[in-house]
Structure 1
C-alpha cells in the first residue's frame, strides 16, 4: 500500500517488522513541511501500516527543531494530548510537546505503554530526535503482541484476569520526592484535580501533610480496539518499587514504608506482585525489545497500544522530544 507514496520502505532489522523505516525517495523534497503534509493527507495508509508493524520510523527528512516536530505531530494527531497524570519528569517545550524523560542518564527506563495507568491512554505517541546521545541512549521498542506470547503463562494469566492496581502518593510542595500533584495534573486548583479524578475512575485521599494518594485499577492485558488482537498493556514493572536499584529502594522503604511510597503496583485485587514475578516481566520485555541508534531528525510514530517503549542509559547530551494524541 505504501508504494503509492513517495517513500522508500525497508525493515530496520531484516526479518523484524518493527519498526518499518520510511525515507524520502531520491529527488523528492525532504523538508519537514513535506513530511507534515504527507502524514496529514495519507493517514489512512499510515494507520494500516501501524496496525501491522506497530511503529514507523521516518528517517532522512529535515526535521530541524521542536517547531518542525510540532508541525509534523499536529499534522498526524490533530490536537496534542497534555501529559496529565504523567509520572515521568519532563519539561514542556511547546504546545503539549515535552522532553521524553528527564530520568537520570545512568539508569535505563524499563519498557512500558505510555499512560497505560490512565483511563484513556493515548493511541499514538511520536518521538523526535534532536540530539542523539554520544553513547547508547536508544529508545527500545517492543511488540506487545510478542510480549504477551512470550510471557510465562501463569504470570500472563494473573495480569489478564486481575489487572493492575496503581498507587501513587504525590506531595503538595516543591520539596518532596518526585513530581507534586500540581505537576502531575498541570494545575494548582484542588477542585479541578478532584473533578478529573472522579471522572476517571480514580480513588483519592488527601493526607494530613497535603499529600494526594490515588488508586487506579487498570487492565494488564487488552484487546486492541481496531485489530482485536490480545496483547500486553501496562506499566506495573515501572511503578513497582523493585524498579529502583536496591540501595534506593531500601531508602524509599525506610523513609515512607510500603503504604506511602511515591509509586507502587499490585494486582488489581490488591494482592502483591512479587519481586520475582515483576523481574520476570522486566526481563521478557527487555529481551524482546528492538534497539536502534537515533539520528538527528528521526521521527518515530508508535501505536501506543501495540508497542511499548523504554530508554537505555546514556552518556553525553541527548534531546528526544515526545508528543501524544
Structure 2
C-alpha cells in the first residue's frame, strides 16, 4: 500500500493525501511487469488531518508535489490515479486542477470525436449517446500525435446501478499477457505495425463524431473556397512530421453533399515503450475496433462506429482469432470505475487504457469532462524500422 503523501511539517495548510481501498470491481492489483502490490487505480483522498480543503490549498498541494514529480512518478507506476473528496465542482475548477500538474496542453490533430471547449483545455469526454459502449483503448491510437496524460472529471454521475462506469486497465500488463498467450501476434505487430486508415467527412459521421473541419480545419474561415480549405487541411496533416509514414488522399463521396472526403493513412507502432523503464506497452484501440466491427456485423446498436480501418502495416488483414484473444484479455484485466460526483481520474495514456460503459437514462444523466496534456516526451520505439518512432507534432 502506498503511504500517505506527506509534504512538509512546516506547512500545515497543505493537504496530506492518503490512499484508500475501492471495491474489487473498481480496483485490482496488477501483475507483471508492475512492482508487487501495485493497484490500479491508486485511489487518493485528503486525510482526516486535511478536512474540507479549498481549491487554493488543493492547487498548492498539487504544485508542491509536482516540484519533485511525485504524482508523475505514481502515474508511471500505477497508470491511473483517482482523486476523491476534492473541491472540484465545475469545468473551470477542473481546468485549474489539471493545470497545477504542470503538463503542456495537448492539441489534438485529426480528432475523430467532437469536443467543444468548456473551459481552458476542458471539453466533454464523449458525446456519443448513452447506449453506445466504448471499449478500452489508449487515447488517440489511430493518429500519430497522442496525449501523454488524460484527465476525467465527473460532474454528474448516473444514479444507482444504471451503468456509465469507466473501464480501466494496464497497457503494460496487456502486452505481457498477449505476448504469453499469442506470441505470434506480438511478433507480427513488432515487424509490421498497423495501417490506420481514417476517413474524415465534412458532415458528422455519427452522433458525437467530428467533422473534417473540426479535425483539421482550425485555420479555415467561413466563405473560403474549396481549394483554400483543402490547402489549410493538408497543412495541418503535414504537422504530423512523419513523411512517408503518413499519407492522404481526397476521394469523391456521393454521400457527403459538402465535397470530397479525406482518407488519411498512418503506419503506426502498436508496441511502444515507456520512458524511463523502456518497458513495452500495447498502445492501441484494436480490441475496441474488433468489438465494434463484430457488433456491427451482428446488427448490434451498442457499439461505436469505426471511422478507421485497422490492418497490418503491410496491408494484410489482422487475424480475427488474435483480435478475439486480445479483447478477452482486455476484459479479464480491466476494472470498472463507478463514478461519484467530483471524482477525477488521471491516466498515464502510454501505459493505461480507458473506455465507457453504456447507461440507462438520458444523455444528461452522466456528465464527464476531459482534459488532455502532452507527456514530457513521446513513447520510445520498439524496433528500428522507420515507422516505429512517433514524434511530437510540428508547431502550428
Per the normalisation by structure 1, the TM-score is 0.88
Distance 1:83 1:25 in 2: 36
292, 301, 309: which is aligned to 2:354? Answer: 309
Matched with 1:18 is 40
Change (3 A) 1:130 1:243: farther
Q: How big is each residue's C-alpha offset from its partner over 1:66-123, in whole Å with a ceiling of 9 and x where there is no partner?
A: 1110101111144422333222343332233111112222131111110123323211
Matched with 1:197 is 237
1:190, distance to aligned residue in structure 2 (A):
2.8
Shifted more, 115-124 versus 25-34: the winner is: 25-34
88, 92, 99: which is aligned to 1:63? Answer: 88
Matched with 1:166 is 196
Shifted more, 312-321 versus 92-101: the winner is: 92-101
Q: Is structure 2 residue 222 aligned with structure 1 residue 212?
A: no
1:182, distance to aligned residue in structure 2 (A):
0.9
Matched with 1:283 is 328
Change (3 A) 1:193 1:38: farther
Matched with 1:138 is 165
Contact 1:92-1:98 at 8 Å conserved across structures:
yes
3-state SS, counterpart of residue 282 of structure 1: helix
Matched with 1:238 is 288
Change (3 A) 1:175 1:220: closer
1:161, distance to aligned residue in structure 2 (A):
2.3
Task: Please show how residues 1-325 of structure 1 align to structure 2 within 5 Å.
Answer: 2-5=4-7, 6-12=16-22, 13=27, 15-16=29-30, 17-28=39-50, 29-43=52-66, 44-134=69-159, 135-151=162-178, 152-173=182-203, 178-187=209-218, 188=220, 189-200=229-240, 201=242, 202-209=246-253, 210-239=260-289, 242=293, 244-247=295-298, 262-316=307-361, 317-325=365-373
Shifted more, 312-321 versus 176-185: the winner is: 176-185
3-state SS, counterpart of residue 315 of structure 1: coil
Higher RCO, 1 vs 2 (CA within 8 Å, ≥6 residues apart): 1
CA RMSD across the alignment: 2.4
1:60, distance to aligned residue in structure 2 (A):
0.8
3-state SS, counterpart of residue 70 of structure 2: helix
The structure with the greater share of residues assigned to helix is 1
Distance 2:310 2:204 in 1: 25
Distance 1:314 1:60 in 2: 24
Contact 2:165-2:338 at 8 Å conserved across structures:
yes
1:196, distance to aligned residue in structure 2 (A):
2.3
Shifted more, 105-114 versus 192-201: the winner is: 192-201
3-state SS, counterpart of residue 206 of structure 1: strand
**Contiguous gaps of at least 5 residues in structure 1:** 251-260
Q: How big is each residue's C-alpha offset from its partner over 1:259-288, in whole Å with a ceiling of 9 and x where there is no partner?
A: xx8321101111112333322222211221
Contact 1:166-1:239 at 8 Å conserved across structures:
no
3-state SS, counterpart of residue 3 of structure 1: coil
Change (3 A) 1:249 1:185: farther
3-state SS, counterpart of residue 122 of structure 1: coil
Contact 2:199-2:263 at 8 Å conserved across structures:
yes
Per the normalisation by structure 2, the TM-score is 0.73
Q: Which structure's CA Rg is the greater one?
A: 2
Contact 1:89-1:103 at 8 Å conserved across structures:
no
Shifted more, 272-281 versus 37-46: the winner is: 272-281
**Contiguous gaps of at least 5 residues in structure 2:** 8-15, 31-38, 221-228, 254-259, 374-396
The structure with the greater share of residues assigned to strand is 1
Q: In the comparison of the two structures, how many residue pairs are matched?
A: 315
Contact 1:128-1:298 at 8 Å conserved across structures:
yes
Distance 1:68 1:18 in 2: 25
